[in-house]
Amino acid sequence: MGTANAKHLINDVLAEVESRGPTIVSRRLIGQAESEQFVMKIPNNKVGLVIGKRGATIKNMQASTAASIQVIPLHLPPGDTSTERIVQIDGTSEQFEAAKQLVNKSFQRIVLETQQWLEDIHSKVIKQVLLLVGHLVVLLHYNNQVMVMARTVSSTISAF
């Protein structure tokens, strides 16, 4: 995947998240002192950001907030074509507010890390000097454009 294509995909995801935002439902559970439930719909392809590797992210969020956090359903049944799943947070107002912020921060962190990775790759590619078929090709970055400059004169390379 090229850098431009990867940047385009990241920008598409960011635009989708910003335009839709999570769908949120909150309600107070009857019979439990100050216990509330928060429900947020997230795209299937973002569930891994909430769960983390081997459940590490969701376990850390639960430990730090004392809220119960579940992804429903955890695994989609075969043939299920739904595009979203539910993140359900149960706890006091303070617990689910803290958990909700952690869920949102996990999305933001991944987006920022991905953007930084793309910028690093882009920077490395731009600084490359390639020798191709006896011609020196220099990739220059100018005003967010990549320009390829090469010149051969009598088997010598001229500088621009």
Predicted pLDDT at 160: 44
Where in the sequence is the domain holding 160, given as residue range(s)? 128-160
CATH code at position 75: 3.30.1370.10
Instruction: Spell 127-137 as b/e; 16+ CB within 10 A means b.
Output: eeeeeeeeebe
| Residue 122 per-residue DSSP state | H
* pLDDT tens digit sequence for 69-106: 888 888 888 988 888 888 888 888 888 788 878 877 87
Query: Structure pTM?
Result: 0.49
One domain for residues 132 and 122: no
One domain for residues 122 and 132: no
One domain for residues 114 and 132: no
Q: Which of 106, 103, 98, 109 lies closest to 87 in space, CA to CA?
A: 103
Structurally, the chain folds into a number of domains equal to: 2
